[in-house]
Amino acid sequence: MIKVTKINEKNRLLFLPAVDTLTLAVCDILFGAYDEKTNTACGILAAESVNNGQTGYSLTIRQIYVDEAWRRKGVGTALIHALMDLSVEAGAKAVLCCHLEPAEEDQDLSLFFEALDFKRTKDALPVYGFRLSEIDPGNDNTRFSCVSLKSLEKGEWRDFIRFADERSAVINVRSYYDESISFFAYDHEAVLKGGILCSRRGGVLYVDEVLVAKEDRTSAIEALLYHAVTAARKLYSAGTEIGITLSDPDQEMVLKELTGFKAEKVGSFVAHVVQ
């Protein structure tokens, strides 16, 4: 019989081979499935609590994995049901799962979620893909002084966490992001105006968060992207793939312009609205 439990410090080693350390760092909700008779781990689900202006408070599935020997035996369904129960208790508005197309395994995953009453969103939270060589970094905006996460003091990181919370965004463990290509923008009076947080997972660069003060939206994004792209080009090949999820629809045109309109929508979120 399949049982689901929360993964904690006591039992994490039982499930650890199935989930990478980056997922463990960014996700605050971890469920593990196991066979009660043999005490054998057979699957995991990792999710993150997200709060933004578009979706409200929601739970975003970052990874779901079922061992090949246990697939099509109800393990994935049991994990999703455990998350659904938690979402109701936590008062979440929706459960989201992001996946890219058209990989065959993603098509199978899409059918799996559709069977559990998830619906593909049309316009909200689109996922865009492009390559490092396709970005026009523009010019360094002299209105701002940009510093990398690598050179940021602990107190300054805490300042950014407060800055993010004011904009209804969740910022996770600092070590999750690539410190060399994540940057923060300050004006000439040393007032924090925004940040861009990037990570590299599975050979793909991800723009995880772009948070800027509303009054400096376009100019701050331009400055941050310039520094992030310039640093990334020194570290990675021009053909490196980049993925970005835009939670703010107003940023879509800015992204397209800065990439010479080469950023293409490659996927979307599959969502289940909690009743």
User: Mean pLDDT over all residues of the chain?
Assistant: 77
Tell me which residue has tokens 């960014």: 26
CATH of the domain at 70: 3.40.630.30
Q: How confident is the model at residue 192 (pLDDT cuts 50, 70, 90)?
A: very high
Instruction: Look at residues 92, 122, 152 and tell me which one is the last residue of a structural domain.
Output: 122
Least confident among 17-31, 65-79, 224-238 = 17-31
Q: What tens digit of pLDDT does each residue of 93-150 get?
A: 777 776 544 444 456 777 787 788 777 655 445 566 777 877 777 778 889 999 999 9
Identify the helix (H) or strand (E) that includes residue 222: helix 217-235
221 and 248 Cβ atoms separated by less than 8 Å: no
Please give the pLDDT value at position 46.
Answer: 86
Q: How confident is the model at residue 193 (pLDDT cuts 50, 70, 90)?
A: very high
Is the predicted pLDDT of residue 9 greater than 60, yes or no? yes
Cα(117)–Cα(107) distance, rounded to whole angstroms?
16
Least confident among 110-114, 143-147, 177-181, 249-253 = 249-253
Cα(222)–Cα(141) distance, rounded to whole angstroms?
7
Estimate the crossing angle of helix 251-258 against helix 217-235, to 10 degrees. 40
Is the predicted pLDDT of residue 200 greater than 60, yes or no? yes
Please give the pLDDT value at position 102.
Answer: 41
Residue 103 lies in a domain: yes
Percent of the chain with pLDDT over 90: 19
Tell me which residue has tokens 């599975």: 202
Cα(121)–Cα(126) distance, rounded to whole angstroms?
8
172 and 25 Cβ atoms separated by less than 8 Å: yes
Please give the pLDDT value at position 255.
Answer: 61
H and E: helices and strands count for the chain:
7, 13
Q: Of the ranges 40-54, 120-134, 159-173, 222-236, which is most confident? A: 222-236
What is the pTM for the complete model shown?
0.59
Total Cβ atoms within 10 A of residue 187:
14
Whether residues 87 and 13 fall in one domain: yes
Residue 198 lies in a domain: yes
Is the predicted pLDDT of residue 180 greater than 90, yes or no? yes
Instruction: Please give the average per-residue pLDDT across 200-229, as a whole number.
Output: 82
Cα(124)–Cα(194) distance, rounded to whole angstroms?
23
Residue 258 lies in a domain: no
Is the predicted pLDDT of residue 39 greater than 90, yes or no? no
**Among candidates 36, 41, 48, which has minimal Cα distance to 12?**
41
How far is residue 275 CA from its own chain's centroid?
Answer: 24
Whether residues 143 and 221 fall in one domain: yes
Whether residues 142 and 241 fall in one domain: yes
168 and 53 Cβ atoms separated by less than 8 Å: yes
Q: How many domains does the chain have?
A: 2
How far is residue 105 CA from its own chain's centroid?
Answer: 20
Residue type, 166: E
Instruction: Look at residues 122, 151, 182 and tell me which one is the last residue of a structural domain.
Output: 122
Please give the pLDDT value at position 225.
Answer: 85
Owning domain of residue 117: 2-122
DSSP result, 98-145: EEESS-HHHHHHHHHHHHTT-EE-SSSS-EEEEEGGG-------TT-E
Instruction: Look at residues 122, 145, 161 and tell me which one is the last residue of a structural domain.
Output: 122
Cα(49)–Cα(85) distance, rounded to whole angstroms?
14
- 218 versus 54: the higher-pLDDT residue is 218
- Half-sphere CA count of 71, side-chain side, radius 13 A: 10
Please give the pLDDT value at position 254.
Answer: 58
